[in-house]
Structure 1
Amino acid sequence: MWTLGVPAKTRRVIFRTLVAALALAAPLPPAPADIDATVQEYLRSTGLPGAAVTVTRGTEVLHAAGYGRTPDGEPITERTPMAVASVSKSFTALAVLQLAESGRLELDGPVRAHLPEFRLADPRADRITVRQLLDQTSGLSDSTVHPFTRPQPGSLAEAVASMRSATLVAEPGERWEYHNPNYQVAARLVEVVSGLPFDDYLQRHVFGPLGMADSRAIDTADELPPSARGHLLVLGGAIAVPEPPAFGGGSGGVLSTAHDMAAWLTAQNNPGRTPIASAAAITEAHTPSPASGSYALGWSVGTTDSGERMVSHSGDLFTSTAYQALLPDSGYGIAVMTNTGLAHGDATALADELIALMTGQPAQPPNSALPVIDAVLLGLAIGAALLAARGAVRARRWAASRTGRISTVLRLLPLLVPAVLCASINQIVGALYRGRDVALIQVPYLYPTFTVLLVTAALGGVVVLIARLTGLARAVST
C-alpha cells in the first residue's frame, strides 16, 4: 500500500507540514490592491498621464486594469487599445514559428527560398536565414538600411522593396545587431507564405484563438487611433503630441489592451497548454542562439534583481512605451503600456517596480530629476534669447570697432556653430544611440527642452550674424 502502514492521524500531520513548507517556499502572489497601489503611486510621483497594466500567474489573471487618461481625455480601461511598439516582435516571431511548425517554411532555410522579392545589393543576403531575421543576426544594420531617414514605406511589400540597394555590415549569423527592418521582412514573409495580410493572419491564428478581440496590427504611425497616441513630459506636465511619421509593420505595429495581453502572457507562460503553438515552439521563441547573445526570437533572456530567470521585451515609440516580462520559475507575467515616449521609459520603469513587488525586492524610486533638468535647459534658452537680442542691438557698435578682416571673420564664425549643430543633431544623437538611425523630426521627442535651447541658440546666432554683417556693410559704405 502507498501508506506503508502509516496511521491516518500521522499522515494528516505529514500532509499539513508539507503544505506549510510549500507555502513558505512559494510566497503568495501580491494582492490586486498592492498592484493597484504600486501603479497609482507611480503615476502620482512621475506625472505619467496614462497606463494599462496586466499581471498574471500561471493561468490566473491577478490584475488587468487601465489608469489615467488618453490624450483626448478618455479614461483608460482594461479594454483600451494602446501601442505595444517593439513588443510586436514577439507576435511576429510566433507567426513565423507557427508556419515553420506546419511545414510551410524552414526556420534555418534562406529567406529568399520563400520570399523571392527579398533582394539586396549584397550577394551575402541570399544566405540570410529566417531564424537570423528573428534573432537579429542577419547582418542588416541601421547604417545600411535606414529605418527612419529613408522615405517611409506604406506597406510591408514596399518596406522589403526599399531595401534593394542595401548591403550587409557582417556575414549572416556572425553578430547581433538590433534592426527593425529584420522584422518587417519577417512579417512580409508571413504574408507571402500564408497568403494573408499580416493583420488578418494574426487575427486568425493568434489574436482570435486567444480571445484577444481588441488587438490588431497596423503599419504606419498615422494609423494609430486616438487611444494609442501619447505625450511628452515637460517640467513634469504632459503635452499631447502626434507620433512622428514612421513605418512599423511587423516590427512595432501591434495594438493591444490590458485584457488581451493577459491572454498573451498566459499562453507564453504555459507552453503546451495554448492553442497557438506547441511547447517546443514557445520554448524555441525564448531560447537565444550563441551568435545572438541574450536575444532569442522576439524576446530577450536575462534575470531579475533577485536572480530569477526572466524572458522579456521592451517597446518604444516616441510618444508611448510598452514592456512585457515572463518569470518562468514563479509563473508570473507582467505587461505594461504607457502613453509617454522613449525619452522617459515609463513602461520599463513601472514594470521594474511590479517585478520587484512580485519577487519581494525593494523597488527603485522613479527618476525625479527630469523636471529640474527641463527647468535648467529652458532657463538657458531664455538666457540665449536675451544674449542674442543684446548682440543684435549692439551690432552696429560692434561693426564700427572692427578693423582687421581676418579677425572679424573669426569672430563671426562661432555664431554659426549652434545652427550647424541644429542641422546635424540627429546624426549626433544616432551616434549616442550606438549607431541607430534617427530622423531630425524625432530629436525634439527625445530631448524637447534641449531642442528648445539648441534652436533658440541657432536662431539667435543667425540673427546676431545678420545684424553684424549689416553693420559691417554700413560701416564700409560710409
Structure 2
Amino acid sequence: MARYAVKLAESPLIAEPGARASYSQAGFNLAGRIIENVTGTTFEQAVTSLLSEPLGLAHSRYAVNDVITRRFAVGHNTDTNGVLAVARQWKDNRADNPGGGVVTSASDLLRWARFHLGDGRIETGERILPTELLHRMREQTVELHGSTLGDAFGICWFPRTVDGVATITLGLLPGDTDEYIVTAGGLQGQRGFFARDESGAVTGIDLAGRLLALVR
C-alpha cells in the first residue's frame, strides 16, 4: 500500500483539485494508506481492531489465506456465449483493499448495516463512533450533475432523491426498482448490498443475484 501511494503521486491529474468530482478507487486506497500512517499498523489490522471486532464481524476477512479456510462461494460471471463461468482473476493485490477488498457473509453484512442505521453504538451499548460523524457520512459533500451514481457525494455514500424520497446509495444493481435503493459492493463475480430510505430502515442482502433477507 505504501508503494501504491508512491506510484499514485507520480500519476498525472485528470483535473485540478476541487475542479470536478469523480468516484475514485485510488482515493479510497490513499485513505487506507493514511489510516496506516495514523494508526501505525496495517489497514487490515486497523479495520479489524477498530470495527470488525467491536461489531462482531467474525466472518469478514481481507487475506486470501483467511478466506479459503472458511466456507466460500466462488464468484461467477457470464461469458461471451452467455454461459456462467468461474470469475478469474478473483482478487488483485492488497493495495485495493481499502476501496473494496473485504470478503464477508450475509450475517456480517446485516450487522454492518444495523450499525450504519444506528447512532454509532454497538450491541453492548458501547459507542465506537460519535452519532454526528456516522450520520455525516450520508450528507452531501459535493453535488453531482448528470451522474447515474447519485445526486451528490457523501462519505462512501451517494445521497439520492427518488420520487421525493431521500435515499443513500452506492449505485443500482441490475433489475432494481424504486421500491428500495441499494448500496452495493463486490469482487469478481460477487456482489453484496444493503439499502436505506427515509421511511424506515430497509436492509437487503444479495448474494449471487438472490435476495436473502429484508429487515426493518
Category of TM-score, reference length = shorter chain: 0.7 to 0.9
User: Structure 2: which 5+ runs fail to align?
Assistant: 145-150, 171-183
Distance in 2 separating the partners of 1:189 and 1:222: 25
Residues 335/278 of structure 1: CA separation in 2 closer, same or farther (3 Å cut): farther
Distance in 1 separating the partners of 2:56 and 2:14: 41
Pairing partner for 2:48 from 203, 226, 250: 203
Distance in 2 separating the partners of 1:310 and 1:295: 12
Contact kept? 2:113, 2:203, Cα under 8 Å: yes
Matched, 1:310 2:167: yes
Pairing partner for 2:89 from 227, 235, 243: 243
Q: Deviation digits for residues 37-70 of structure 1, max 9, x if unmatched?
A: xxxxxxxxxxxxxxxxxxxxxxxxxxxxxxxxxx
Distance in 1 separating the partners of 2:67 and 2:189: 11
1:286 is aligned to 138
Residues 244/217 of structure 1: CA separation in 2 closer, same or farther (3 Å cut): closer
Contact kept? 2:142, 2:154, Cα under 8 Å: no
Distance in 2 separating the partners of 1:315 and 1:336: 10
Deviation at 1:277, TM superposition (A): 1.2
Pairing partner for 1:252 from 86, 89, 100: 100
Q: Which has the higher contact order (CA 8 A, sep 6+)?
A: 1
Number of positions where the alignment pairs a residue of Structure 1 with one of Structure 2: 188
Residues 267/178 of structure 1: CA separation in 2 closer, same or farther (3 Å cut): same
Deviation at 1:264, TM superposition (A): 0.9
Residues 222/321 of structure 1: CA separation in 2 closer, same or farther (3 Å cut): farther
Q: Percent identity?
A: 21
Residues 233/166 of structure 1: CA separation in 2 closer, same or farther (3 Å cut): closer
SS in 1 for 2:8: coil
Pairing partner for 1:271 from 119, 122, 128: 119
Matched, 1:166 2:11: yes
SS in 2 for 1:202: helix
Residues 307/228 of structure 1: CA separation in 2 closer, same or farther (3 Å cut): farther
1:336 is aligned to 206
Q: Deviation digits for residues 296-328 of structure 1, max 9, x if unmatched?
A: 111111145x64322122224332222222224
Distance in 2 separating the partners of 1:212 and 1:328: 26
CA RMSD of aligned residues (A): 3.0
Deviation at 1:259, TM superposition (A): 0.7
Which structure is higher in strand share?
A: 2
Which structure is higher in helix share?
A: 1
Deviation at 1:272, TM superposition (A): 4.4
Pairing partner for 1:298 from 152, 156, 160: 156
Distance in 1 separating the partners of 2:19 and 2:50: 32
Q: Which amino acid aligns with 2:88?
A: P
SS in 1 for 2:204: strand
Residues 173/329 of structure 1: CA separation in 2 closer, same or farther (3 Å cut): farther
Residues 200/331 of structure 1: CA separation in 2 closer, same or farther (3 Å cut): same
1:326 is aligned to 196
Deviation at 1:280, TM superposition (A): 0.5
Deviation at 1:249, TM superposition (A): 1.7
> After the TM superposition, which residues 308-457 of structure 1 pair with which residues of structure 2 at under 5 Å, given as runs?
308-313=165-170, 314-338=184-208, 346=209
